[in-house]
Amino acid sequence: MKKIIITGILGQDGANMAEYLLSLYDEFSRALDSRWFGSEHFPINVTGNDYEVYGMMRRSANPNFKNIEKIKNHPRFNLQFLDLGDTTSIDTAVKEIQPDYFINFAANSFVGISWKMPEQVMDVNALGVLRCLEAVRKFKPDCRFYSAGSSEEWGDVDYSPQDIDHPIKPRSPYGASKAAARHLVKVYKESYDMFAVHGILFNHEGTKRGEEFVTRKISKGIARIKYGLDNGQSPDAIELGNLDAKRDWSDSRDFVEGVWLMLNQESPKDYILSSGETHSIRDFIEKAFAVAEINGSWRGKGLDEVFETEDQTLVRVNPKFYRPADVDLLLGDSTPIRKELGWEPKISFDKLVESMVNYDIDETRRNQMSTSS
């Protein structure tokens, strides 16, 4: 049985990673029960998927368990406390669990807030990775370690698409913290012969994404607006910052499969996970409103630009959401992992937007019905 630590379990990536691994275990368990190993029903590769998952969360006064609702009672899932700012808690977890894999998704991952709390962001995202690497080195040196990197590490890009060798030039404290983590992983891999990888994840979204992120802010806002318009109300517009920023968006569920492939390659090598397509925030808005069957158009320029219907402002620009320094274009080259490890994204940009908007529309409707009943 393989033991797997996943930090940041209540977040989008940690929850999706745990769901994915437990689904592999469930396949293994069904194959074991049926004794169909190697048959056309259960290929031989499921026989190694005997996993025990340890989901790690930071102590919080008001934890939100919504993202792990499907797995929290799974017999192979264990929920425990771990704080990347606390060396003792990390050491204790590694010493007691003796994991075969350590997957670190815990982070202060909202770029915008990193200018307001740069010291805390650096402590969690960089020093937190250092503490994890040290714990693995001291107590389970054969454990395979994954550090979640970010396209924000490259910042002011020199060329597109960005490959793994692109110069590191972050434009935010968040990007700098992830770049520091990348260097630490490299140092430990080379100094101690550890299996440690730093996978660069371009923007990845989904229905488990936090509401402070722009894509979820849009999908949740559209759900609120649609419900209001359908019920004769005049809902407030969604307020956003830079509408022209272009990002390489994918679905988080595709990325966790890529992370698992990185962790199970023969030798540790860093890869990029990306769709290879770029879309602006403006594109995301237009596609998302189309999914909700709300027809709007753009009017005005700069800070006065709005997306509106004939009688309703849907989106407006608010300068408070502009960053002190922004990255205009991010586009990743994931060719190496596709060719060498066989990873391929399955969910298109259109399907991603559709799933997020429809999920939030349904959830808003259920919540409103529950409130009124």
* Average confidence (pLDDT) over 263-271: 97
Identify the pLDDT of residue 40. Answer: 46
pLDDT digits (tens, 9 = 90+) for 223-258: 999 998 888 788 899 999 999 999 999 999 999 999
Identify the pLDDT of residue 32. Answer: 59
Q: 214-243+281-327+357-372 has which fold?
A: UDP-galactose 4-epimerase; domain 1 (3.90.25)
Tokens at 131, concatenated = 């503490």
Separation CA 7–CA 109 (nearest Å): 13
Separation CA 294–CA 314 (nearest Å): 9
Contact 314, 326 (CB under 8 A): no
Contact 117, 177 (CB under 8 A): no
Residue among 240, 235, 117, 118 nearest 176 (CA): 118
Residue indicated by tokens 């993202």: 67
- How many C-beta neighbours within 10 Å does residue 131 have? 21
Burial 251-286 (b: 16+ CB within 10 A, else e): bbbbbbbbbbbbbeeeebebbbbbbbbbbbbbbbbb
Separation CA 137–CA 157 (nearest Å): 34
- Residue 222 β-bridge partners: none
Domains 2-208+250-276+330-346 and 214-243+281-327+357-372 are alike in CATH topology: no
Looking only at the bridges linking them, the beta strands covering 297-299 and 306-308 are antiparallel
Q: Is the pLDDT of residue 38 over 80?
A: no
Separation CA 256–CA 157 (nearest Å): 26
Contact 110, 213 (CB under 8 A): yes
Tokens at 211, concatenated = 């509401």
3-class DSSP state of 352: helix
Phi, psi of 258 (to 5 degrees): -65, -40
Residue among 6, 124, 125 nearest 68 (CA): 6
3-class DSSP state of 205: strand
Contact 238, 315 (CB under 8 A): yes
**Strand ranges (DSSP E) for 49-203?**
51-57, 77-81, 101-104, 144-150, 196-201
* CA 371 to each of CA 220, 233, 366: distance values in angstroms, whole numbers, following the listed order: 17, 17, 9
Percent of the chain with pLDDT over 90: 79
Contact 180, 293 (CB under 8 A): no
* Least confident interval from 66-70, 134-138, 229-233, 336-340: 229-233
pLDDT digits (tens, 9 = 90+) for 119-151: 999 999 999 999 999 999 999 999 999 999 999
Residue among 122, 120, 121, 184 nearest 147 (CA): 184
Contact 121, 114 (CB under 8 A): yes
Separation CA 171–CA 152 (nearest Å): 7
Identify the pLDDT of residue 34. Answer: 53
Identify the pLDDT of residue 367. Answer: 86
Residue among 160, 57, 61 nearest 105 (CA): 57
Domain regions of the chain by residue span: 2-208+250-276+330-346, 214-243+281-327+357-372
* Least confident interval from 28-37, 114-123, 204-213, 320-329: 28-37
Instruction: Residue count of the chain, please give it.
Output: 373
Burial 16-51 (b: 16+ CB within 10 A, else e): bbbbbbbebbebbbebeeeeeeeeeebeeebeebeb
CATH of 2-208+250-276+330-346, one of 3.40.50.720, 3.40.640.10, 3.40.220.10, 3.20.20.10: 3.40.50.720
